Amino acid sequence: MSHLARELHRQLWFIERQAKDLMQSVQSLLSDGNLLMSGTDGWDEAQAGAIRTEIHDHADECDRRISQAQAEVDEFRQRLAGSG
Instruction: Give 22-59 pLDDT, tens digit per residue.
Output: 888 888 988 888 888 777 777 788 888 888 888 889 88
**Mean per-residue pLDDT over the chain, rounded:** 82
Predicted pLDDT at 38: 78
pLDDT greater than 80 at residue 72 = yes
Q: Whole-prediction pTM value?
A: 0.62
Predicted pLDDT at 1: 59
| Total of domains in the chain | 1
Output Rg (C-alpha) for the chain, integer angstroms.
19
Crossing angle of helices 3-39 and 45-83, rounded to 10°? 170
Residue 36: give the domain boundaries.
Answer: 3-83
pLDDT greater than 70 at residue 14 = yes
